[in-house]
Amino acid sequence: MKVYFIRHGETDWELVQSRGIRGWATSFAPLTPLGRLQIDTIARDFRLQDCEAILCSSYARALESAALLSRALNKPLYVEYDLHEWLPQKNSLADIDQKLLSEANETLRGRHLRADESVTMPWESLDEVRERVLEVLSRYQEFNDVIVVTHAVVISSLIGMDRLVEYAEIVPCEIDPMSSTQKASVKTCVM
């Protein structure tokens, strides 16, 4: 399966911050006008024209990006919760613990490793992100070419953390669909 991972367009964080929105509710932040233009621009990319479907995260920035692509490309849109951003705190109903958030971000960036790696971390590992995304993709193996609109860390979990994936960047990958005896896996990604 050919998958075109796309990071959502630029997000209007100022809008939610100006209203005092914090924590998980910031996931409702829409795109900026530039973010909408970024998506409108990549919708003309020749690689996306033959895709059969668009899958996206349920976070507003990805959903808005995918809706713009769906309209421009006239392709069906499927919203998948498990394409959401990396969880720096697995318990989404708990108050945000700033110390925990800092430690999770440090670990994610590879700048800090715990001495005892057998301890289960309260945040999502990159392997967990990768597994949930591949599980979603395995449900769409009837398609040959799909677009997946998601988040930078989600894409990086599949291709490696060499660099930040830019807003509206297209990252083509080959994915081996899941068979009855094996899990889905990433064959190649071109950066």
pLDDT by residue, tens only, the chain of 191 residues: 999 999 999 999 999 989 988 777 788 999 999 999 999 999 999 999 999 999 999 999 999 999 999 999 999 999 999 998 876 555 555 555 666 556 655 665 553 344 444 446 667 778 888 898 999 999 999 999 999 999 988 898 888 766 789 999 999 999 886 644 445 566 666 65
- pLDDT at site 140: 96
- pLDDT at site 86: 73
**Where, residue-wise, is CATH 3.40.50.1240 in the chain?**
2-86+125-189
Quick one: how far is CA 114 from the chain centroid?
Answer: 26
Is the CB of residue 5 less than 8 Å from the CB of residue 173?
yes
Alpha carbon distances (Å) from 184 to 80, 130, 147, 179: 17, 10, 17, 7
- pLDDT at site 95: 58
The domain over range 2-86+125-189 is classified in CATH as 3.40.50.1240: yes
- pLDDT at site 172: 95
The CB density around residue 133, as the number of other CB atoms within 10 Å, is 27
**DSSP classification of residue 31:** B
Is the CB of residue 154 less than 8 Å from the CB of residue 129?
yes
What's the pTM? 0.82
